[in-house]
């Protein structure tokens, strides 16, 4: 087993059965895990913000920062390893919020909305999801079989 760490605003793809793609410390950020079971190709993205229009220069240098540019690159990178859209399984986690009594600090919710819009527009279904709430999450994608686990800061671990 070898762990490949996906940093914040980063993405990695793999077709090596030994690899486990891991991303730590998801707050309002979102992890998107995609997997094609036919060719055992998977990828994991950890994006921070919903929309690359915020800073197009930064998005170009680092597409993984934003939902739109990150998801596009994630799928393309998996295609280049032989994955096909019709077979891809998509699981998402993150988008937590702080307990505010206001309309500010809603980056988590906006991140979830952005993701739904992008997948809706591209006719992609979300096959497993653990989003919202107030916990910090760690997400792992096993390239061997596509298993995705989410560990919450409150100590709970679940499989999506």
Partner 1 sequence: MIEQILRSIEQIPAFPTTIFKVSGMLNDEDYSVDALTEVIKFDQAIAANVIKMSNSAYLSPSRSIGTIREAVLYLGQRNLLKCVQTAGVSRFFQTTGQRQMATAHELWEHSVAVALMSQILARKILKREDERLYLAALLHDVGKIVMGEYIYESFEMIMDLVTRRGYSFLEAEEEIIGINHAELGGMIAAHWHYPQEMEMALTYHHRPDLAGDDTTTVWLIHLADQICLLAGITGGMDGLAHRGVDEVMKKFSFYEKDLEVGMLELVEHLQRARDLVGIVAG
Q: Tell me which residues touch partner 1 (CB under 8 A).
A: 8-9, 24-29, 48-49, 54-55, 58, 65, 96-108, 134-136, 152-155
Give the β-pairing of 10-14 and 41-47.
Answer: antiparallel
Rounded Cα distance, 20 and 75, in Å: 18
**Which residue, 47 or 75, is less far from partner 1 as judged by CB?**
47
Q: Least CB distance from residue 150 to partner 1, whole Å?
A: 13
Q: What angle do the packed helices 107-121 and 67-79 form, to 10 degrees?
A: 50
**Which residue, 58 or 124, is less far from partner 1 as judged by CB?**
58
Q: Least CB distance from residue 100 to partner 1, whole Å?
A: 4
Q: Least CB distance from residue 22 to partner 1, whole Å?
A: 14
**Which residue, 53 or 86, is less far from partner 1 as judged by CB?**
53
**Which residue, 58 or 81, is less far from partner 1 as judged by CB?**
58
3-state secondary structure at position 135:
coil
Q: Least CB distance from residue 94 to partner 1, whole Å?
A: 8
Helices of type H across 40-106: 56-61, 67-79
Rounded Cα distance, 130 and 135, in Å: 11
């Amino acid at each position: 087993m070898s762990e490949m760490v996906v940093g914040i605003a980063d993405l990695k793809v793999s077709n090596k059965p030994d690899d486990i793609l891991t991303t730590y410390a998801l707050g309002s950020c979102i992890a998107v895990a995609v997997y094609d079971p036919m060719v055992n190709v998977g990828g994991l993205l950890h994006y921070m913000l919903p929309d690359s229009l915020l800073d197009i220069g930064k998005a170009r240098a680092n597409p993984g920062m934003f939902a739109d540019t990150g998801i596009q690159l994630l799928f393309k990178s998996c295609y280049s390893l032989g994955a096909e859209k019709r077979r891809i399984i998509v699981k998402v986690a993150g988008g937590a919020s702080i307990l505010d009594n206001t309309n500010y600090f809603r980056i988590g919710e906006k991140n979830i909305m952005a993701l739904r819009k992008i997948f809706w527009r591209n006719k992609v279904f979300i096959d497993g999801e653990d989003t919202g709430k107030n916990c910090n999450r760690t997400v792992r994608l096993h390239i061997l079989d596509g298993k995705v686990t989410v560990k919450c800061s409150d100590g709970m671990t679940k499989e999506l």
